């Protein structure tokens, strides 16, 4: 499914700024403007410390900007109250992390069920089973994360990110901890799912190979978009 | 709450199943605390219930009791004739009797003598005869010198109607005939069944109370209004007599031991407090360890409420498990506690008190409620902390302690504020005689300790840590790094240890100070060569009194230079609070001193002047309670009504905490007409050997008086033995608290060892030997112990200052001179340090056994 440039952007950032306080404040993002079309896959590339992860965290609602605006599907999320932000994270966006961030004491199936269970969905187990099947781990539902390889864990994380039907997928260095073969598999999976479900994908990476798969690539340096 | 079961498993039960020891330790801590609370509550409740039962057994069906300062003169009973219009009344005489024989060698029981008017007592008290049976049974009581005993008492002493029993009563040896056996019901239940029931005249004869009864019980006719009756009785009551409710005796007895019981409760709560810290420790560590998972949960949309509920549920589960274990443990511990508390009450406060175990249900309910509430309270802060985990920063490895570091300054300021609050609270006076502000100040010191702990850890890593590195090399450096790198985690362990050890050190100083103060006081007060009291069968303290004839007997005895007869009675002030009214020969005090005054003045001229002017001396506890001082006036109840006396001076007295008013014996005899004597101090003539004098006195007293004579040295030893027995319970509680706190260190270190797998793996990968890592962990344990001990020393100093300067004076009314037993303090601290070192052994092994490849694969 191709990005729909004619409809409202899936993600829109205006004059976005993020400063981490401290003895010497760190400006992670500075006056950043960005738009991502619905269904587009956008790669954010840059060195460590360029602000890629920070941008994803702000768009994902797990951190708040110091100033500026973020709109997702037309809704401003920077000003959402805590309770609404929790629902946003649960229903509207799915995140995939570099370190997988699976819960080690839950089974693979339970990890994928969790967001839907938090939402009170009665079909959490069935949806999770279908998603695991889709990512090729239908038979590993009873295993625990520590029994899986890195690539398998990342596929579980992708399944979890889709559990509540989110339309926006944010992947922060999803192949950073994987070998090239597993990395390729994960990137391929993300691509397939994006096209199947028409989700918008923002991918932070310093891998050229990962960036090459995206519809568009944006470079970042020192908290700004660089040309 | 959507998703709670999965979240609970992810954060709580999953980790607990893998590392159950981390949960077992706080459960054990709560169990010990709950057991201590249950046991002490049960003991205290048993004391109260026993007093109430004893009073109820004696009072029977009475609606009111008439009493007098020195009893009710028989001559005044006729004036109570008006009572027949509204009910009936019956006099009674009571007092202790020491049994000369007992079932066990060397143990002399104390029984209560109760003399009643058989003709008119039936309306008041219930008496059921078991033997002899038949219509002539009650006439057995009319026989002079015969007594009735309860069935269990008779069985224990192998008694039957017609046999005799040797007793010491009223300072004389007697042999009483057993007139019959009573069923253990009604009045026979008084003193746990150890009662010698007889007629009024026999009791008067036995106890030396001719012409007096101790009480007159009144039973109103059905339909008579209590209020109206009380009003009418008050109108007709002769001066010097008072009307009391029947439960007053129990109330008075309860008040006598109130301070003792309150402090025991406070000490019991200490062990629970340490248990609470262990829960906070465990849950806080769980929150720290689970921060990445908490952050992930928050990132995928888990609300704060679910996170909070998960950790709160963990605390509650620990509380439930600990409480259940504690109830079982407490059931067994309560027996020991009851024996200790009951023994202290009997030997120090009330010789005839029989402390029987009350129903245990109340103790179970209270300790369960306290245990669960404490568990929930202990979990609140860490659970709230868990909800504050932000998804973004916490998901980065290594970010855990950054939060703790940023909060150091506000915590330090808050700690200073808490200390200031403690100081302000310490200025507060007692509330209804209880040092509530003092205990609140102790609480604030604990809060300050908790707030300052992370800062102490940081300072410890820099200061002693550097020294350690210099002394032992790289392992010391690693240890300092590990220690300082765990501000939050090690801060909690340090707090728990500092609190438990600090309170123990404070108690060591307090007990040593009080003991030394008592020792010096005993040395300066006990000037007599010999001390004569009624034979109490080897029991410590005074049981019963002596006939007035003992005074001239001793005064005229060859080799005796002077005697000081002392009389002590328990009386009630206008608010029905008990204090001791005493009398002594102020001429003897004027000659030899022995009454250390608070202002340091020479007591001899003060005593002489008081004798001449009809003034009194009051003890320090009395002065504190009633705000009396030299020159002020105090009111003393007399047979003709309350009478004011000017205070000549305030003296130090550690023999009781109720307070004492002492007047010259001549003045006392003139006002109260009570010539009996509680004890006599004897001064030997110059050159006379006190031991030989004692032998001669005892020989001469044979057949005339039943006395025991102690030398000055024996008396001092006995006084200190009573003191040591009183504080035995506190030592047990201190040991428990320390043990629980050291468990907390082990818990924290074990958690740390597992948490730092990656660091240990890295160290192994770059060439550190397993032994070096093990030693580094041991040194970290030592650092934890060192910093905890240093913090305990500071906290202990604060606690000791509050105990000695605020809580003890407000509880007992005593001024105590500070004595610091450095050797004992060093020993206790050394033990804890050694235990801290040992607490690092298992974590050291865990750390040394980390597989570098596996650990680094997690990077």
Tell me how close the Cα of B730 comes to any Cα of chain A, in angstroms.
Answer: 44
Supply the pLDDT for residue B751: 67
Q: Are B482 and B777 contacting, i.e. CB atoms less than 8 angstroms apart?
A: yes
pLDDT higher at B25 or B577 = B577
The CATH number of residue A176's host domain is 3.40.50.300
Supply the pLDDT for residue B398: 45
Q: Does residue A201 form part of some domain?
A: yes
Three-class DSSP category at B293: helix
Q: Above pLDDT 90, what percent of chain A?
A: 52
Question: What confidence tier does B821 reach under pLDDT thresholds 50, 70, 90?
Answer: very high
- Does the pLDDT at position B534 exceed 80? yes
Tell me how close the Cα of B10 comes to any Cα of chain A, in angstroms.
Answer: 5
Average pLDDT over chain A, rounded to whole?
89
The CA-based angle A173-B761-A174, given to 5 degrees, is 10
B405 to chain A: closest CA residue: A22
Question: CA-CA distances (angstroms) from residue B161 to B96, B151, B199, B330?
Answer: 22, 11, 16, 43
Distance, in Å, from the CA atom of B744 to the CA atom of B282, rounded to the nearest integer, reads 8
Average pLDDT estimate for B163-183: 91
Average pLDDT estimate for B82-105: 84
Q: Which chain B residues have a beta carbon less than 8 Å from that of A117?
A: 2-3, 6
Q: Which chain A residues have a beta carbon less than 8 Å from that of B397?
A: 99
- Does the pLDDT at position B499 exceed 60? yes
| Interface check B306 vs A, CB under 8 A | yes
Cβ contact, residue pair A106, B297, below 8 Å: no
Average pLDDT estimate for B619-645: 93
Evaluate the CA torsion angle B216, B217, B223, B227 in order and state its sign. Answer: positive
Residues 6+ apart with CB under 8 A from B198: B113, B114, B115, B116, B141, B146, B147, B148, B176, B179, B206
Residues B100-129: pLDDT tens digits?
876 656 657 889 999 998 878 888 888 888
Cβ contact, residue pair A117, B292, below 8 Å: no
Helices (H) and strands (E) in chain A, counts: 7, 10
Q: Does residue A79 form part of some domain?
A: no
Supply the pLDDT for residue B584: 94
Q: Which residues pair with B645 in a beta bridge?
A: B634
Helix B770-802 vs helix B436-472: angle between axes, to the nearest 10 degrees? 150
Three-class DSSP category at B326: helix
> Of the segments B45-54, B82-91, B717-726, B732-741, which one has the largest average pLDDT value?
B82-91
Q: Are B636 and B660 contacting, i.e. CB atoms less than 8 angstroms apart?
A: no
Cβ contact, residue pair A105, B13, below 8 Å: yes
Q: Does residue A33 form part of some domain?
A: no
Q: Are B32 and B273 contacting, i.e. CB atoms less than 8 angstroms apart?
A: no
Question: CA-CA distances (angstroms) from residue B455 to A167, B410, B465, B605, B735?
Answer: 47, 11, 14, 58, 28
Question: What are B465's two structure tokens?
Answer: 């840590």
| Interface check B402 vs A, CB under 8 A | no
- Does the pLDDT at position A192 exceed 80? yes
Q: Are B130 and B182 contacting, i.e. CB atoms less than 8 angstroms apart?
A: yes
Q: Above pLDDT 90, what percent of chain B?
A: 32
| B310 CB burial (10 A radius; 0-12, 13-18, 19+) | buried
Cβ contact, residue pair B298, A110, below 8 Å: no
Cβ contact, residue pair B395, A63, below 8 Å: no
Q: Are B835 and B744 contacting, i.e. CB atoms less than 8 angstroms apart?
A: no
Question: What confidence tier does A202 reach under pLDDT thresholds 50, 70, 90?
Answer: very high
Three-class DSSP category at B122: helix
Nearest by CB to A103, which of B293, B304, B395? B293
Of the candidates B195, B193, B194, B191, the residue with the CA atom closest to the CA atom of residue B355: B191
Q: Which residues pair with B597 in a beta bridge?
A: B651
Q: Does residue A9 form part of some domain?
A: no
- Does the pLDDT at position B858 exceed 60? no
Supply the pLDDT for residue A7: 64
pLDDT higher at A67 or B466 = A67
Tell me how close the Cα of A90 comes to any Cα of chain B, in angstroms.
Answer: 4
DSSP state of B678: S
- Does the pLDDT at position B177 exceed 80? yes
DSSP string, B423-447: HHHHT---BTTB-HHHHHHHHHHHH
| Interface check A97 vs B, CB under 8 A | yes
Beta-carbon neighbour count of residue A123 at 10 Å? 11
Supply the pLDDT for residue B859: 41
| Residue from B298, B301, B309 to probe the interface with A (highest A Cβ count within 10 Å) | B301
A169 to chain B: closest CA residue: B300
DSSP string, B733-744: HHHHHHHHHHHH
Supply the pLDDT for residue B399: 45
Q: Which chain A residues have a beta carbon less than 8 Å from that of B14?
A: 103-106
Residues A15-49: pLDDT tens digits?
999 998 888 888 989 999 999 999 999 999 988 88
Q: What's phi and psi for B800, nearest 5 deg?
A: -65, -40
Q: Does residue A127 form part of some domain?
A: yes
A149 to chain B: closest CA residue: B857
Average pLDDT estimate for B471-482: 84
A176 to chain B: closest CA residue: B859
Domain total for chain A?
1
Supply the pLDDT for residue B733: 66
Supply the pLDDT for residue B857: 55
Cβ contact, residue pair A63, B299, below 8 Å: no
Q: Which chain A residues have a beta carbon less than 8 Å from that of B398?
A: none
Residues B661-671: pLDDT tens digits?
999 999 999 99
Cβ contact, residue pair B301, A105, below 8 Å: no
| Interface check A99 vs B, CB under 8 A | yes
Tell me how close the Cα of A182 comes to any Cα of chain B, in angstroms.
Answer: 16
Question: What confidence tier does B393 reach under pLDDT thresholds 50, 70, 90?
Answer: very low
DSSP state of B12: I
* Strand B195-199 to B578-584 pairing: unpaired
Question: Which range among A8-12, B158-162, B528-532 shows the weakest confidence by mean pLDDT?
Answer: A8-12
Question: What confidence tier does B567 reach under pLDDT thresholds 50, 70, 90?
Answer: very high
| Residue from A18, A55, A103 to probe the interface with B (highest B Cβ count within 10 Å) | A103
Question: What confidence tier does B154 reach under pLDDT thresholds 50, 70, 90?
Answer: very high
Cβ contact, residue pair B6, A87, below 8 Å: no
Distance, in Å, from the CA atom of B834 to the CA atom of B740, rounded to the nearest integer, reads 15
Three-class DSSP category at B552: helix
Question: Which range among B247-261, B379-393, B436-450, B554-568 shows the weakest confidence by mean pLDDT?
Answer: B247-261
Q: Which chain B residues have a beta carbon less than 8 Å from that of A114?
A: 3, 6-7, 10, 297, 300, 302
Q: Which chain A residues have a beta carbon less than 8 Å from that of B22?
A: none
| Residue from B1, B7, B16, B300 to probe the interface with A (highest A Cβ count within 10 Å) | B300
Q: Which domain holds residue A183?
A: 39-63+85-225
Q: Does residue A76 form part of some domain?
A: no
Question: What confidence tier does B697 reach under pLDDT thresholds 50, 70, 90?
Answer: very high
Cβ contact, residue pair A105, B392, below 8 Å: no
Q: Which residues of B334-346 are buried (b: 16+ CB within 10 A; e: fewer)?
A: beebbebbbebbb
Cβ contact, residue pair A63, B391, below 8 Å: yes
Distance, in Å, from the CA atom of B269 to the CA atom of B826, rounded to the nearest integer, reads 25
Tell me how close the Cα of B16 comes to any Cα of chain A, in angstroms.
Answer: 10
Q: Which chain A residues have a beta carbon less than 8 Å from that of B18?
A: 105
- Does the pLDDT at position B5 exceed 70? yes
- Does the pLDDT at position B400 exceed 50? no
Distance, in Å, from the CA atom of B713 to the CA atom of B721, rounded to the nearest integer, reads 12
Q: Above pLDDT 70, what percent of chain A?
A: 96
Instruction: State the count of interchain CB pairs (< 8 A) between A and B.
Output: 91
Q: Does residue A153 form part of some domain?
A: yes
Question: CA-CA distances (angstroms) from residue B544 to A179, B19, B56, B171, B567?
Answer: 93, 62, 22, 7, 11
| Interface check A122 vs B, CB under 8 A | no
Q: Does residue A11 form part of some domain?
A: no
Nearest by CB to A115, which of B301, B391, B397? B301
Beta-carbon neighbour count of residue A219 at 10 Å? 16
Average pLDDT over chain B, rounded to whole?
84
Question: Which range among A152-161, B11-20, B266-275 shows the weakest confidence by mean pLDDT?
Answer: B266-275
Residues B667-686: pLDDT tens digits?
999 999 999 999 999 999 99
Cis bond before residue A56 (omega within 30° of 0): no
Which residues 50-89 of chain A have a CB within 8 Å of chain B? 57, 60, 62-63, 82-83, 86-89
* Strand B707-711 to B172-182 pairing: unpaired
Nearest by CB to B15, which of A87, A88, A105? A105
- Does the pLDDT at position A154 exceed 90? yes
Element housing B624 (H / E): helix B620-626
Supply the pLDDT for residue B641: 87
Q: Which residues of A69-86 are buried (b: 16+ CB within 10 A; e: fewer)?
A: ebbbbeeebbebeeeebb
Tell me how close the Cα of B11 comes to any Cα of chain A, in angstroms.
Answer: 8
Distance, in Å, from the CA atom of B180 to the CA atom of B129, rounded to the nearest integer, reads 7
Tell me how close the Cα of B779 comes to any Cα of chain A, in angstroms.
Answer: 32
Supply the pLDDT for residue B679: 92
Supply the pLDDT for residue B586: 94
Residues 6+ apart with CB under 8 A from B656: B580, B619, B621
Cβ contact, residue pair B14, A104, below 8 Å: yes
Supply the pLDDT for residue B281: 73
Average pLDDT estimate for B622-649: 93
Supply the pLDDT for residue B854: 62
């Amino acid at each position: 499914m191709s990005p729909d440039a004619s409809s409202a952007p899936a993600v829109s950032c205006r004059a976005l700024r993020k400063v981490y306080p401290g003895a010497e404040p760190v400006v992670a993002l500075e006056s950043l403007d960005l738009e991502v079309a619905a269904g587009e896959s956008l790669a954010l590339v840059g060195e460590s410390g360029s602000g890629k992860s920070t941008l994803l965290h702000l768009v994902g609602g797990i951190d708040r900007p110091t100033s500026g605006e973020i709109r997702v599907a037309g809704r401003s999320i920077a000003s959402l109250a805590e309770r609404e932000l929790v629902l946003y994270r649960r229903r509207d966006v799915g995140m995939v992390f570099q370190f997988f961030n699976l819960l080690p004491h839950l089974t693979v199936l339970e990890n994928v069920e969790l967001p839907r269970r938090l939402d009170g969905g009665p079909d959490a187990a069935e949806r999770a089973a279908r998603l695991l099947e889709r990512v090729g781990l239908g038979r590993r539902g009873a295993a625990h994360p520590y029994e899986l390889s890195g690539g398998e864990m990342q596929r579980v994380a992708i399944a979890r990110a889709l559990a509540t039907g989110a339309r926006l997928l944010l992947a922060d260095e999803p192949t950073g901890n994987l070998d090239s073969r597993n990395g390729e598999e994960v990137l391929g999976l993300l691509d397939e799912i994006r096209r199947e479900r028409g989700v918008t994908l923002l991918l932070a990476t310093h891998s050229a190979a990962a960036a090459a798969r995206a519809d568009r690539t944006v470079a970042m340096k020192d908290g700004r978009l660089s040309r | 709450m959507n998703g709670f079961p999965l979240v609970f498993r992810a954060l709580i039960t999953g980790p607990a199943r893998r590392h159950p020891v981390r949960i077992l330790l706080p459960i054990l801590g709560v169990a010990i605390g709950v057991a201590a609370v249950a046991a002490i509550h049960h003991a205290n409740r048993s004391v109260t219930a026993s007093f109430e039962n004893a009073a109820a057994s004696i009072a029977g069906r009475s609606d009111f009791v008439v009493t007098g300062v020195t009893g009710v003169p028989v001559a005044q009973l006729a004036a109570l004739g008006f009572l027949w219009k509204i009910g009936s009344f019956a006099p009674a005489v009571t007092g202790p009797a020491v049994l000369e024989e007992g079932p066990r060698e060397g143990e002399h029981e104390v029984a209560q003598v109760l003399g009643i008017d058989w003709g008119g007592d039936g309306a008041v008290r219930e008496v059921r005869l078991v033997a002899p049976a038949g219509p002539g049974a009650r006439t057995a009581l009319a026989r002079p010198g015969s007594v009735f005993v309860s069935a269990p008492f008779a069985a224990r002493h192998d008694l039957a109607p017609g046999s005799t029993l040797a007793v010491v009563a009223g300072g004389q040896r007697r042999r009483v005939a057993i007139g019959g056996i009573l069923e253990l019901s009604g009045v026979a239940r008084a003193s746990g069944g150890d009662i010698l029931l007889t007629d009024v005249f026999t009791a008067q004869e036995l106890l030396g109370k001719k012409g007096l009864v101790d009480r007159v019980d009144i039973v109103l006719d059905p339909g008579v209004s209590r209020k109206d009756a009380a009003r009418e009785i008050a109108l007709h009551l002769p001066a010097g007599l008072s009307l009391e409710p029947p439960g007053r005796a129990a109330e008075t007895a309860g008040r006598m031991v109130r301070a003792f019981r309150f402090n025991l409760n406070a000490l019991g709560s200490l062990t629970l407090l340490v248990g609470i810290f262990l829960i906070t420790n465990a849950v806080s560590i769980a929150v720290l360890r689970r921060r990445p998972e908490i952050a992930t949960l928050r990132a995928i949309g888990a609300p704060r409420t679910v996170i909070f509920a998960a950790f709160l549920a963990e605390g509650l589960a620990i509380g439930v498990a600990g409480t259940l274990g504690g109830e079982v443990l407490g059931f067994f511990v309560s027996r020991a506690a009851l024996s200790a508390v009951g023994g202290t009450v009997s030997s120090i406060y009330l010789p005839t008190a029989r402390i029987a175990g009350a129903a245990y249900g109340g103790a179970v309910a209270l300790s369960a409620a306290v245990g669960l509430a404490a568990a929930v309270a202990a979990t609140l802060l860490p659970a709230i902390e868990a909800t504050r985990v932000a998804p973004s920063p916490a998901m980065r490895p290594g970010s855990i302690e950054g939060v703790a570091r940023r909060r150091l300054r506000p915590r330090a300021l808050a700690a200073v504020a808490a200390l200031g609050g403690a100081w302000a609270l310490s200025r507060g006076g007692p509330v209804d005689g209880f040092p509530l502000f003092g205990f609140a100040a102790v609480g604030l010191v604990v809060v300050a300790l908790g707030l300052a702990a992370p800062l102490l850890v940081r300072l410890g890593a820099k200061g002693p840590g550097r020294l350690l590195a210099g002394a032992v090399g790289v392992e010391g450096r690693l240890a300092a790094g590990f220690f300082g790198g765990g501000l939050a985690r090690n801060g909690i362990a340090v707090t728990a240890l500092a609190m438990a050890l600090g309170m123990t050190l404070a108690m060591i100083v307090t007990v040593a100070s009080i003991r030394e103060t008592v020792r010096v006081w005993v040395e300066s007060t006990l000037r007599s060569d010999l001390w004569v009291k009624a034979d109490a069968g080897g029991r410590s303290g005074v049981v019963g009194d002596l006939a007035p004839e003992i005074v001239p007997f001793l005064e005229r005895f060859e080799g005796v230079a002077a005697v000081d007869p002392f009389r002590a009675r328990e009386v009630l002030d206008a608010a029905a609070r008990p204090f001791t009214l005493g009398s002594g020969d102020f001429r003897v005090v004027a000659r030899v001193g022995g009454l250390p005054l608070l202002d340091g003045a020479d007591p001899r001229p003060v005593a002489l002047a008081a004798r001449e002017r009809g003034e009194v001396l009051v003890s320090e506890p009395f002065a504190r309670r009633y705000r009396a001082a030299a020159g002020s006036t105090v009111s003393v109840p007399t047979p003709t009504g309350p009478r004011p006396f000017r205070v000549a001076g305030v003296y130090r007295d550690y023999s009781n905490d109720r307070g004492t008013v002492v007047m010259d014996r001549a003045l006392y005899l003139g006002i109260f007409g009570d010539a009996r004597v509680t004890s006599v101090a004897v001064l030997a003539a110059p050159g006379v050997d006190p031991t030989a004098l004692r032998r001669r006195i005892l020989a001469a007293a044979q057949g005339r008086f039943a006395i025991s004579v102690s030398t000055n040295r024996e008396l001092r030893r006995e006084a200190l033995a009573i003191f040591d027995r009183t504080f035995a319970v506190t030592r047990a509680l201190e040991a428990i608290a320390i043990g629980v706190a050291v468990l907390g260190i082990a818990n924290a270190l074990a958690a740390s060892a597992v948490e730092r797998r990656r660091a240990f793996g890295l160290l192994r990968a770059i060439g550190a030997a397993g032994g070096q890592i093990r030693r580094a962990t041991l040194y970290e344990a030592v650092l934890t112990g060192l910093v905890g001990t240093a913090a305990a020393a500071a906290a202990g100093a604060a606690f000791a200052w509050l105990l000695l300067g605020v809580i003890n004076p407000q509880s007992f009314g005593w001024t105590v001179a500070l004595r610091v037993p450095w050797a004992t303090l060093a020993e206790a601290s050394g033990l804890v340090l050694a235990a801290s070192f040992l607490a690092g052994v298992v974590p050291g092994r865990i750390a040394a056994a980390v597989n570098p490849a596996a650990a680094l694969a997690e990077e």
